[in-house]
Amino acid sequence: MADKPPFYITTAIDYVNGAPHLGHAYEKILTDVMARHKRLDGFDVMFLTGTDEHGQKVAKTAEENGKEPKEFCDEISKKFSNMADYLNLSNDDFIRTTEPRHYEASKAIWAAIKENNPDDIYLGKYAGWYSVRDEGYFTEDELTEGEDSEGNKFKLAPTGAPVEWVEESSYFFRLSAYTDKLLDLYKTHPEFIAPDSRRNEITSFVKGGLQDISISRTNFKWGVPVPGDEDHVMYVWLDALTNYITGVGYPDTGSDSYKKHWPADFHVVGKDIIRFHCVYWPAFLMAANLDLPKRIFAHGFINVNGEKMSKSVGNVVAPKDLLDLYGLDATRYLLMREVSHGQDGNFSHEYAVQRINSDLANGLGNLVQRTLSMIYKNCDGVIPTPNDFNAEDNALLDHAYAKLLPAMRIDCDEMRFNRALENIWKLVIEANGYVDAQAPWALKKEDPERMKTVLYVLAETIRVLGIVVQSVVPESAVKILTQLKIAEDQRDYSFVSKEYALKGGTEIDQPEGVFPRLETSEKAA
């Protein structure tokens, strides 16, 4: 068998200055769905996530908590790796930027830039604005003015975070030399930044001209030491971005994993950090003479009840609370179904319950439950052998075999999971409509042979549905496929075809419900 094509996908690595919230969870689930989708579609997937542990923000939070930075990072990083477990992420690795392998990679990329483009790193003095919350440098003309309740004026970064004036000895990266190269990249590889609106945003930022950026700090110590000058620690974003190559074995560019998986196919990140990923990262890689990732996908933000999540508003949702309330797969489904490609999404409890009940409990869940129960009761617990298919049967099966997957592949490959789910649910609706129209319960007496065919067609449609929903609701899909006695090695997309149709005569167990109905009175955390 030919080698599977490789596919490498990453999430942003989360700052360890606080516990994970729904926004972090959304990004990780989004990436997991893509990783699972590609595995089911025959790719050799590498999926990396992890935590970003250096920098002034983390150092400051550790100090406020009376902890040594490393001790603090260990504690918080654990909360994120636990989240990867309870969200059932299929990540192949979890990277922490405090690991020795990452120190080695970060120092190596610095050295590679110096070696390949010695003029691109020079020593100077930074005097300018810095936002600790963004860990970012901003120019005067990007700032706005804020005022507190006592009338004190202060300056704000475009993200709304306060900035402070910083003056320190620093190494600089000659970003200004990359303006044309980056514009050329966006032009010749328009797919490099998705969605398109983000590419336009970044292109106009770069067209405005790029200034050299400071890539080391001297007024605190929590970071990777600069090779050859240990008074400096590397700028946290240079360190953090490098995680994507550490994860595949850099600096060993001859390793199997590096050769197979770099360049990455997708970096999935939030819209707030595209400048770092679409401008700084490719420039660093060009300077180090390394290949560029193929695509940066910027997702939107999850708001809660129409407002940005924030501690001061008190609307920060902990992912764990949602899982306790709705269950894991329902939460995963909800987030993937509700948020449109690259757009912000809103979470509200009332709407969540409605969506989960209508699509999962009453939609797919009910289809599976009533079909399997009828088979169990009326066909002696075995999948019936069908007779000739009529036009209605063929229409449903044709939708399942021929129409579903091609459209879904196009949507999923572009991370349009909301649209893919909307389309998959058209088949769920059609199948439920077919049950009502064919009324197998009435056929039991009138025409038992026809009843068998109808139940078979339904079971076969459910088999296909079970296969295609695996990336979004993995545990529930396994329950569906297991109830139909589908072997574990017959669950990828290549089995969506008539050739692998269910065999009449297969015994099934007493069916169990897959998607419980939620009570509307259950309250959000």
Residues with Cβ within 8 Å of residue 135, at least 6 apart in sequence: 55, 56, 57, 236, 237
Contact status, residue 271 vs residue 301, Cβ threshold 8 Å: yes
What is the smallest separation between the CB atom of 27 and ligand MSP, expressed in angstroms?
5
Among 9, 12, 83, 424, binds ligand MSP (CB under 6 A): 12
Q: How many CB atoms lie within 10 A of CB 439?
A: 12
Site pattern 414..453 for ligand MSP (x: CB under 6 A): ----------------------------------------
End-to-end CA distance of the chain: 50
Contact string (CB under 6 A) for ligand MSP, positions 89-128, x = contact: ----------------------------------------
Does residue 270 belong to the site contacting ligand MSP (CB under 6 A)? yes
- Positive or negative: CA dihedral 54, 230, 101, 263: positive
Using CB under 6 A as the binding rule, whether residue 23 contacts ligand MSP is answered as yes
Q: Which position among 27, 265, 359, 411 is part of the footprint of ligand MSP (CB under 6 A)? A: 27
Interacting residue with ligand MSP among 8, 26, 280, 326 (CB under 6 A): 26
For residue 240, state whether it binds ligand MSP (rule: CB under 6 A): yes
Task: Give me the amino acid identity at 62.
Answer: A
Residue 15 in the binding site for ligand MSP (CB under 6 A): yes
Among 40, 245, 269, 514, interactor with ligand MSP by CB under 6 A: 269
Taking the complex as a whole, how short is the minimal distance between the CB of residue 189 and ligand MSP, in angstroms?
20
Run of H or E residues at 285: helix 281-287
SS (H, E, C) 405-418: HHHHHHHHHCCCHH
Residue 339 beta carbon to ligand MSP: minimum distance, rounded to whole angstroms = 9
Structural contact between residues 175 and 283, judged by C-beta atoms closer than 8 angstroms: yes
Instruction: Work out how close the CB of 498 gets to ligand MSP at its nearest, in angstroms, rounded to a whole number.
Output: 41
* Residue nearer to ligand MSP on the CB measure, 309 or 468: 309
273 near ligand MSP (CB under 6 A): yes
Q: Amino acid identity of 127?
A: A
DSSP string, 289-355: T-PPPS-EEEE-PEEETTEE--TTTT-PPPHHHHHHHH-HHHHHHHHHHHS-TTS-EEE-HHHHHHH
> Judged by CB, which is closer to ligand MSP: 274, or 420?
274
Instruction: CB nearer to ligand MSP: give 319 or 440.
Output: 319
Give the SS3 label for residue 121.
strand
List the structure tokens of 382: 């075995």
From 204-212, 239-247, 360-368, 459-467, give the range in contact with ligand MSP by CB under 6 A: 239-247
User: By CB under 6 A, which span of 8-16, 82-90, 208-216, 428-436 interacts with ligand MSP?
Assistant: 8-16
DSSP 466-484: HHHTTTTSHHHHHHHHHHT
Which amino acid is it at 244? Answer: Y
What is the spatial distance between Cα 31 and Cα 506, in angstroms, rounded to a whole number?
36
CA-nearest of 46, 54, 93 to 76 is 54
Cα 345 from Cα 303, distance rounded (Å): 6
> Considering the rule CB under 6 A, would residue 223 count as an interface residue with ligand MSP?
no
Q: Which of 89, 241, 330, 443 binds ligand MSP (CB under 6 A)?
A: 241
Nearer to ligand MSP, 258 or 301 (CB): 301
Q: Is 360 exposed, middle or buried (0-12, 13-18, 19+ CB in 10 A)?
A: buried
Q: How far is the CB of 161 from ligand MSP (least distance, A)?
A: 11
Q: How far is the CB of 25 from ligand MSP (least distance, A)?
A: 9
In angstroms, rounded to a whole number, what is the distance separating the alpha carbons of residues 510 and 518?
23
Q: How many residues bind ligand MSP (CB under 6 A)?
A: 19
Query: Which C-beta is closer to ligand MSP: that of 131 or that of 214?
Result: 131
Calculate ∠ Cα 483-488-489, nearest 5°. 140
Nearer to ligand MSP, 26 or 130 (CB): 26
Judged by CB under 6 A, which of 309, 427, 435, 514 binds ligand MSP?
309
How far is the C-alpha of 193 from the C-alpha of 211, rounded, in Å?
Answer: 21
Residue whose CB is nearest to ligand MSP in the complex, by number: 270
Q: Work out whether 215 is an interface residue with ligand MSP (CB under 6 A).
A: no
Question: How far apart are CB 231 and ligand MSP at their closest, in Å?
Answer: 24
HEC per residue, 123-173: EEEEEEEEECCCCEEECHHHCEEEECCCCCEEEECCCCCECEEEEEEEEEE
Q: Which region among 9-17, 63-71, 195-203, 214-222 touches ligand MSP (by CB under 6 A)?
A: 9-17
Stretch that binds ligand MSP, among 6-14, 37-45, 180-188, 210-218 (CB under 6 A): 6-14
Among 63, 272, 430, 447, binds ligand MSP (CB under 6 A): 272
**302 binding ligand MSP? (CB under 6 A):** yes
Site string for ligand MSP, 47-76 (x = CB under 6 A): -----x------------------------
| Residue 336: HSE in the Cβ half-sphere, 13 Å Cα cutoff | 29
CB 406 → ligand MSP: shortest distance, Å? 30
Which residues of this chain interact with ligand MSP, rule CB under 6 A? 12-15, 23-24, 26-27, 52, 240-241, 243, 269-270, 272-273, 301-302, 309
